[in-house]
Structure 1
């Protein structure tokens, strides 16, 4: 073989990207791909896998065809001619062995590069197991195994320390029940609800998930985390869920609960809608129809006051005045909602200045005074009672600006992942895929290459 031919083979070896073998020739397979003939290029392949002694006695040659990644947009079919050796160590129980390299271990029909690409396609590329298998020519079980190996290597074993976490639940699928043969009672085997724990301020995605929707599940997951991690958590963002609050006080007694501002406004909007529907039925004995004053302004009532122009403000006031007393009560409820929003707008993230106690107290007093002036409206009283019960968490939000937006964003990604997979039949795979989907961005930033 000439020096020029040897250099060409070295270039082909580098292009193939398969360490441990050397390319001898490349042929066109006639189907748009290439057939690459290789031989073993590492002396360590002659070492006996049992005793480690280098063999010197050749038995015969075998040709295998491990599957590899495409090269240059063309499918590559490898033909590896490797030697079979006699182990000459008398104390070794193994008599013969075939050459193997780290990229293609013994009895492996795929290369490590192909398996890594399959796992990364699902964990980092957002592809489903089925699609990754179609693209790479692998079966579903092989791709799933590659994904699990890749996830175990790329996902941290313990959650990263953070000052604030978010807790929220998401529903996917249906609960699974099984009848106990001894008691004839139906018992819950798999819950449809999953509780997720996320990094609320660091953007590192989902830390973990547990089945269930109770305080015991939350407290148990928190208790299983390292003590240093629990001590670092100072704030926990949640929605208006008393179950989560009880679990936090039990597992993280030093942490402060932060109520998500979105759910406070959502609650106010819900009570306003309930009052509007109740008074509409009371006045008309039916739902609102086109031509009714309340029907004309029903969408304006859901808007924020700063988003309304002068004409819309006048329309709201005029139409509600046409309803008489009921219209004035609905307008008072809308004002209560806006006073509560004014209170939430004092948050440090909106004003870029930490509000002092007197400013917060004044805005809080305006809201409760307005509700007290309309105490005959049960929806407003219920709203005020809820705000009072959760005031510590609301005040913490005002001074820190922490929200549970990270949990809501992760829930969207989790549902999208499940929708792309056409659902999950295995809850463990569902949680693993969910965690990979929500941590892709942070893992790319940590390991950009």
Structure 2
């Protein structure tokens, strides 16, 4: 059997007793320090004003849940000029204010939530003896991310994203040094993006796509920042340009692999004409098929599913 000292959830807590309940879970009765320290003036006080009890979820023992019934005191400040008349024990090393689990359990919730996700982490923690709902895991991750959000960012990336594809778009701003999402704007406009950049004068480099909208927003909101094109859109534009050039020149049909005698001007002109004609016929077939399905009254989503082509 573990001693009472080993049942303690952290420094400054005195374990009074340990009991095993009917549902095979452990309940640890503990108490806070014998005196309080005012968080404003820093003076000690032994003038107790009242009591309160916090129920904290702690690490399991042999797969059984452990609940710490921590009894804390509410003290009166002994300094008459202090604006705070009463205060409660704050055991920051044990648990954060208003938390329902100890710091060491909250750390495990954050680690499993980041690595496994909401529902897989919920199932795994239940097997470990730490029952936590998936909504609680998500709230913990959001609260932790909001608390650790950087104050300033030097290098940011701006790109659009769809609330609803081909219908409504927003703007996502990412800190490229920390690889964290800084903010999500409701629309994709010059005014909203420029206003966000004006509120963050520490931005030195703006990484964006080739769209002129974000270029104008960066010039208005962060004139001191240098604008660069991101790698993804550069490679995407290069790929599109190569495909268009190969389609126009007919290299996709293997003209470069033909013998030298076929590479005469007349043969080359005839080959290009045939390639363009074949390409035009293939596009005409797709055009006719899509319009035939449209005349039948099918929606665009069903046409895209049948033909394999997107809405655009």
Mapping of residues 160-239 of structure 1, within 5 Å? 161-162=154-155, 165-173=156-164, 191-199=168-176, 202=177, 204-226=179-201, 229-230=202-203, 232-233=204-205, 236-239=206-209
1:22 is matched with 14
Mapping of residues 226-375 of structure 1, within 5 Å? 226=201, 229-230=202-203, 232-233=204-205, 236-253=206-223, 255-258=226-229, 260=231, 261-272=234-245, 275=248, 314=257, 325=269, 327-328=271-272
1:146 is matched with 140
Structure 2 stretches of 5 or more lacking a match? 277-312
Mapping of residues 24-103 of structure 1, within 5 Å? 24-26=16-18, 33=25, 35-44=26-35, 54-55=45-46, 65-71=55-61, 74-80=64-70, 82=71, 101-102=91-92, 103=94
Q: Which has the higher contact order (CA 8 A, sep 6+)?
A: 1
Aligned partners of 1:37 and 1:79 also within 8 Å = yes
The TM-score normalised by the length of structure 1 is 0.43
Deviation per CA, 1:105-158: give whole Å up to 9, x if none: 787643344445445554x44623x55556353456644543333113222122
Mapped to 2, the partners of 1:173 and 1:220 lie a distance apart of 24
Distance change in 2, residues 1:105/1:43 (3 Å): farther
Aligned partners of 1:239 and 1:263 also within 8 Å = no
Mapped to 2, the partners of 1:63 and 1:216 lie a distance apart of 51
Structure with bigger helix share is 1
Structure 1 stretches of 5 or more lacking a match? 177-190, 280-293, 302-312, 333-449
Aligned partners of 1:320 and 1:328 also within 8 Å = no
Mapped to 1, the partners of 2:49 and 2:192 lie a distance apart of 61
The TM-score normalised by the length of structure 2 is 0.58
Structure with bigger strand share is 2
Mapped to 2, the partners of 1:253 and 1:107 lie a distance apart of 44
Deviation per CA, 1:194-231: give whole Å up to 9, x if none: 333442xx4644444323223333322222212xx24x
Mapped to 2, the partners of 1:98 and 1:28 lie a distance apart of 29
Match of 2:101 among 104, 110, 126: 110
Distance change in 2, residues 1:245/1:266 (3 Å): farther
Mapped to 2, the partners of 1:317 and 1:242 lie a distance apart of 46
Distance change in 2, residues 1:157/1:57 (3 Å): closer
What secondary structure is seen at the aligned counterpart in 1 of 2:56?
Answer: coil
Aligned partners of 2:55 and 2:100 also within 8 Å = yes
1:306 is matched with none
Distance change in 2, residues 1:166/1:84 (3 Å): closer
Deviation per CA, 1:47-82: give whole Å up to 9, x if none: 6899977346798x88764322435654223344x3
Residues paired across the two proteins, number: 262
- The answer to whether the aligner puts 1:9 opposite 2:19 as a matched pair is no
